[in-house]
Structure 1
Amino acid sequence: MKKSILFLSAAVTLLATAACQNFKKGDGGLEYKIVKDAGAEKAKAGDLLSVDMIVKSDRKDSLLQSTYDIGLPQIVNIAPDSIPGLYAGDYNSMFKFLGEGDSAVFRLNLDTMAAKSGQPKPEFADKFVTFTIKVRKHFKKGNLTDSALYAQIDTYFKGEIEGLKKAEEGKLANYISDKKLEPKKTASGLQYVIAQEGKGNKPAVGDTVVVNYTGTLVSGTVFDTNNADVAKKNNKFNPMRQYEPIRFRVGHDPVIQGWTEGLQLLTKGSKATLLVPSNLGYGERGGGAIPPYAPLVFDVELVDIIPGPKTPATPVDSAAIKK
């Protein structure tokens, strides 16, 4: 597992270094640097590519997207040039430089994009958005029907997700080892470390808990938090959201099982790290920025416990944390 992580890190570093080198000029203000040409057939309209991709703007703290965080590739559909709004040098054009095994860095000119498409220039960059791309697999349309082509994609993704399932236990073990944690483990598989002990009773089913939290993948990527400073630091800030402690009634409101169990282990004022396996989290489906079979890390603070009627727990769909 560690060997594969080191290899991935080296590959990302190589591609990122290439971004600093001279670019060739393409149509429509597109700039590009081919890092590796594997000699395979290049993508055509109607084809699909499975790619690993990092997207950055030309501003500080500029990471906009990375498939490496999710652990799954992105499928890109190569559209025909005849579709209105497309132009030489646009996002779609980039992928026609690439075939299976290729890697490259592209800089998309936003001034050209705004002028050609008639759409306003996005606010997250000044002039360029940089795409660092590595092609995993090329699905060729050829004479295939759409259903046959997408059947290939479906089979491919089932294999990728099965790989995530097999890797989950190792990911969590590596995280615990790297952070030098000594967690306790419950019968369900939940692991936890109490960083600060609180006082008083622990919450029970029916009580309302008031919680501060930050949720991350084991890669360190923050996917959710109610801390405004943490959200800003990790480019997750939403000005429409109220950043305050969340409240939910234990055993009644829809939160993941790892929270329902984990918070009942804490007393008021406690701070802890919950290490949640996917079967106690978002499971085989994942959700949003959380991939399938993703172990999760939550740093939580149990701010308050509001006693409630001790009624039986209500079955809930624990697919998401209540915001």
Structure 2
Amino acid sequence: MKKSIFSLGLAIAILGSACQQFEKGEGGLQYKIVKDNGQPKAQAGDLLSIHLTVTTDRDSLLQSTYKIGLPQIINIAPDSTPGVYPGDYNSMFRMLGDGDSAVFKLDLDTMAAKTMQPKPDFADKYVIFNVKVNKHFQKGELTDSALYAEVNTYFDSEIEKLKTSEEGKIASYIKKNNLEPLKTASGLQYIIVEEGTGEKPVAGDTVQVNYTGALIANGEVFDTSVKAVAEEHKIFNAMRPYEPAKFAIGVRQVIPGWDEGLLLLPKGSKAKLIIPSELGYGERGDGRGVIPPFAPLVFDIELIDILKPAVPDSSAQDNTEE
């Protein structure tokens, strides 16, 4: 099974970090400060905006803010908070301030003992955090409302960055892949890879479609109807069937980019749809953290079949007595 470029690069980065000398902290925590920007470190009540990747000591990726394109906000809890202990997740971030970056190895045996919870089975000994601090919000004398107002303003600006960068992401993707798409008035772009010989669907028809969807920003495949593709990209879910999707077209059962794009294709066609966020999941994303706000998407689709709505039998009439 091939690894994605992202996963391979991450694995190399983690391996390089792991080979460096780690300091030992309380509770089995190990850490390596990659960059100390000389700024005040986080205290209880402060908030940090961070980018991070989280992996296991088996080199499995558990989380990455870089995938979604938005930072994560961390609340630094007081020592009196239930479940907080020396060497825990909270302890890591108290070592960091504005512009700092570090690698942490969180001891799972200590975590299980301190929290009275079973040790997770996805790692042998450690979970590894690669952390970069974007901004440190210091509580100080600020009220909670004033502090969170700062955070909201900051996060709004991060969302705006995603919005303004969308057009550039699409242009870069098209150039990188040497594509010459057709473009509709709505902003949908598409390439017919293999044109079918059947009729085109019309609104109200039911279509059967094989598809693979990916984020244009990093090429990550987030969904597919094809089992082999799901396994290749490590998103296989044994609880779901892998078969062509079946839905009514042109009646808002799917995202607008699909509704518009599939109506352009004859039965049997294979095509690539380049869908701006306005025709996808918009300014909110999918709400599950898989598709971020203002994320342009690309779908490779195959229109397998078109099913017409059932026509009422005109010969079947109620028998009435004269």
Relative to the length of structure 1, the TM-score reads 0.88
Equivalent position of 1:298 in the other structure = 299
| 1:142-180 residue CA offsets vs partner (Å, 9 max, x unmatched) | 121111111111101111111111110001111111111
Distance 2:21 2:231 in 1: 32
What is the aligned partner in structure 2 of residue 194 from structure 1? Answer: 192
Quick one: distance in 2 between partners of 1:90 and 1:271? 51
Larger radius of gyration: 2
Query: 2:152 is matched by which residue type in structure 1?
Result: D
The 2-side partners of 1:130 and 1:196 are apart by 45
C-alpha spacing 1:80/1:232, structure 2 compared with 1 (3 Å): farther
Q: Secondary structure at the match of 2:212?
A: strand
Matched, 1:99 2:97: yes
Deviation, structure 1 residue 189: 0.7
- Alignment correspondent of 1:142: 140
In structure 2, the CA distance between the partners of 1:16 and 1:280, relative to structure 1 (3 Å rule), is farther
**Equivalent position amino acid for 1:155 in 2:** T
2:205 equivalent in structure 1:
207
For residues 275 and 145 of structure 1, what CA distance do their matches in structure 2 show?
45
Secondary structure of the residue aligned to 1:49 is strand
Aligned to 1:308: 309
AA matched with 2:211: Y
Flag structure 2 segments of 5+ consecutive residues without an equivalent: 1-8, 312-322
Distance 1:16 1:151 in 2: 39
Structure 1 pair 164/306, CA: closer, same or farther in 2 (3 Å)?
same
CA distance in 2, matches of 1:48, 1:96: 10
Conserved? CA contact 1:268–1:302, under 8 Å: yes
Query: C-alpha deviations, 1:108-163, integer Å up to 9, x for none?
Result: 12222112211122232222211111000001111211111111111011111111
User: Which whole-Å deviations, capped at 9, do the CAs of 1:278-317 have from their partners, x for residues lacking one?
Assistant: 111111111221111111111111121111269xxxxxxx
Task: Give the Cα separation in 2 of the matches to 1:82 and 1:228.
Answer: 48
Match of 1:242 in 2: 241
Which amino acid is the alignment partner of residue 202 of structure 2?
A: A
Find the aligned partners of 2:11 and 2:240 in 1 and give their Cα distance: 33
Q: State the partner residue of 2:111.
A: 113
CA positional deviation for 1:252: 2.2
Distance in 1 separating the partners of 2:31 and 2:224 = 36
Name the aligned partner's letter for residue 295 of structure 2.
A
Q: Which one-letter code corresponds to 1:238 in the other structure? A: N
Query: RMSD of the alignment, in Å?
Result: 2.0
Partner of 1:319: none
Question: In structure 2, what is the equivalent of residue 271 of structure 1?
Answer: 270
The residue that corresponds to 1:6 in the other structure is: none
User: How far is the alpha carbon of 1:204 from its aligned partner?
Assistant: 0.9
Q: Which amino acid aligns with 1:284?
A: E
Amino acid at match of 1:239: A
Aligned to 1:79: 77
Shift of 1:49: 0.4
CA contact (8 A) 2:252 2:259 kept: no
CA distance in 2, matches of 1:190, 1:245: 23
User: How far apart, in 2, do the equivalents of 1:176 and 1:40 lie?
Assistant: 42
Q: What are the residue-to-residue correspondences of 1:1-323 with 2, within 5 Å?
A: 17-60=16-59, 62-218=60-216, 219-287=218-286, 288=288, 289-308=290-309
Greater mean alpha carbon deviation, residues 207-216 or residues 12-21:
12-21
- Counterpart CA distance in 2 for 1:97 and 1:36 is 11
Q: Which residue does 2:315 correspond to in 1? A: none
Q: Give me the whole-angstrom Cα distance separating, in 2, the residues matched to 1:171 and 1:228.
A: 28
In structure 2, distance between residues paired with 1:162 and 1:241: 35
